[in-house]
């Protein structure tokens, strides 16, 4: 696979040029970026996934949800519907897509909507819901909307400055577009990240004077959900880890460090399981999966467990992020 990616390097050069000129056309006003009266917070990345966008949206809901009317707008990747759709109590995962469905189930009082046309989705939410703030999930590269505040995520083990453009690398947007971010979060850091490593990363990123950089790590819940049990109980079972996410490596490493032995069945990101795959999974003794995969597998497989994950911040980053969010929410539009 790596050899094929290297052979496709000329295509990645062309792709990089295309995204560069596309962004310049937006910067020059040839293509228009629309601003909205409602406050908007964009969460996204420059790569094709695996940076922890959904846990970041969850964090923002927890931080803002008690004081403000929050709505979430997502594309609803791989959903089986079109156009604008507002999530209701009986909306299915196939209609919404796995990540919006997960968010609605976790935060039932929060408005969740999907629309590939972000402009239309924002207008619909302003008309129908009138929220205080709309969280734009995975929207950093969608230049048709100019958000009020942007949070860019990049993974510790694959910083955008060290990556390359598709298909040789994982970048889907031009590296220089990081300058549009108000906050850059280095996700999936080691929990014991040293000051020297932090300084090295800051030198690599060279953030602008107006940008804040925070460092976070993934914190896995040791109390499994679905069929509930302590994580430690898996040590005595034949465990099959089932993942359909962009980068399962941090979860693999966590389980191994916790003394869990498992076989790993890897599927593509946002994978919808076939009937044949479901039948094969039913034969497994104990299945552990991610929260995103669980919403596609629940009620289909017995003895199914999932593990929750959230961002925790290093160097007092959570308090600093909270202040940045509060400042944005209380400033005049």
Between 53-64 and 98-106, two packed helices, what is the crossing angle to 10 degrees? 30
236 Cβ contact list (under 8 Å, min separation 6): none
In terms of DSSP bridges, do strands 39-45 and 70-74 run parallel, antiparallel, or are they unpaired?
Answer: unpaired
Length of the chain, in residues: 333
For the chain, counts of helices (H) and of strands (E): 11, 15
DSSP per residue over 276-309, as a string? HHHHHHHTSSEEEEEHHHHHHHTTTSSSEEEE-E
The b-or-e profile of 13-26 (16+ CB within 10 A means b, else e) is eebbeebeebbeee
The answer to whether 301 and 281 have CB atoms below 8 angstroms apart is: yes
* CA distance linking residue 65 with residue 59, whole number of Å: 10
Query: Binding site membership: which residues?
Result: 47-54
Judged by phi (left if over 0) then psi (alpha if -120 to 50, else beta), residue 265 lies in: beta
Bridge partners for 286 per DSSP: 239
Name beta bridge partners: 223. 230
Strand 223-226 with 212-220, pairing? unpaired
Q: Which residues does the annotation place in the binding site for ATP?
A: 47-54
């Amino acid at each position: 696979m790596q050899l094929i990616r290297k052979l496709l390097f000329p295509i990645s050069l062309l792709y990089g040029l295309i995204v560069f000129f596309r962004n310049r056309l937006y910067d020059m006003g040839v293509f228009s970026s629309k601003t909205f009266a409602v406050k908007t917070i964009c969460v996204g990345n420059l790569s094709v996934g695996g940076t922890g966008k959904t846990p970041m949206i969850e964090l923002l809901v927890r931080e803002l949800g008690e004081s403000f009317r929050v709505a979430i707008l997502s594309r609803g990747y791989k959903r089986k519907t079109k156009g604008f759709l507002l999530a209701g109590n009986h909306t299915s995962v196939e209609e919404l897509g796995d990540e919006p469905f997960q968010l609605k189930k976790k935060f039932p009082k929060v408005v969740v909507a999907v629309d590939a046309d972000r402009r239309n989705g924002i207008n619909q939410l302003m008309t129908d819901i009138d929220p205080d703030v709309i969280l734009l999930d995975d929207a950093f590269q969608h230049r048709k909307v100019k958000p009020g505040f942007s949070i860019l995520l990049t993974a510790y083990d694959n910083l955008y400055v060290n990556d390359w453009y598709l298909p040789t690398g994982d970048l889907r947007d031009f590296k220089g577009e990081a300058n549009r971010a108000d906050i850059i979060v280095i996700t999936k850091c080691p929990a014991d990240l040293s000051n020297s490593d932090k300084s090295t990363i800051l030198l690599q990123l060279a953030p602008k004077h107006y940008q804040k950089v925070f460092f976070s790590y993934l914190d896995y819940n040791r109390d499994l959900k679905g069929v509930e049990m302590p994580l430690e109980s898996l040590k005595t079972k034949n465990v099959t880890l089932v993942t359909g996410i962009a980068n399962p490596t941090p979860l693999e490493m966590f389980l191994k460090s916790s003394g869990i032995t498992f076989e790993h069945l890897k599927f593509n990101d946002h994978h919808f399981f076939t009937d044949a795959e479901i039948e094969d999974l039913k034969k497994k003794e104990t299945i552990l999966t991610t929260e995103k995969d669980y919403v596609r597998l629940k009620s289909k497989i017995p003895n199914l467990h999932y593990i929750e994950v959230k961002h925790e911040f290093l160097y007092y980053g959570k308090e600093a992020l909270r202040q940045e969010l509060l400042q944005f929410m209380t400033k005049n539009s």
